[in-house]
Amino acid sequence: MTNKKPQNALDGVRDQIRAIPLENIATLAKGAFNNKEIIPLWFGEGDVKMPDFIGKAIYDAIQDGNTFYSHQNGIPEFRQVMADYLNGLNAKPVDMDQITVTSGGMQAIS
């Protein structure tokens, strides 16, 4: 086994993945629109009503003046809570510095 680093993002990728056209997420998702085994979380907004406690938390945050940019990787206290939670699930320790909170899946991929 060698420690050779890939020359580009597709090095070592199987042919099935390599054949996927490099297009936007909507194009890729169209192939799964009618598949009932897939939950459609790929883009857009869901059609589930926001729970009241989330709406209240948003309202309270706005009233408290929390309307400015936050920490680049997410609120440190929240990241620590997530690390503590993950440490309870995993055999390998997780440090809060390994956690980044995003506003959605596409932002995380970007």
pLDDT in tens, 55-105: 999 999 999 998 888 889 999 999 999 999 999 997 889 999 999 998 877
Distances (CA, A) of 69 to 75, 99, 101: 10, 18, 13
pLDDT at 47 over 60: yes
Cα Rg for the chain, rounded, in angstroms? 19
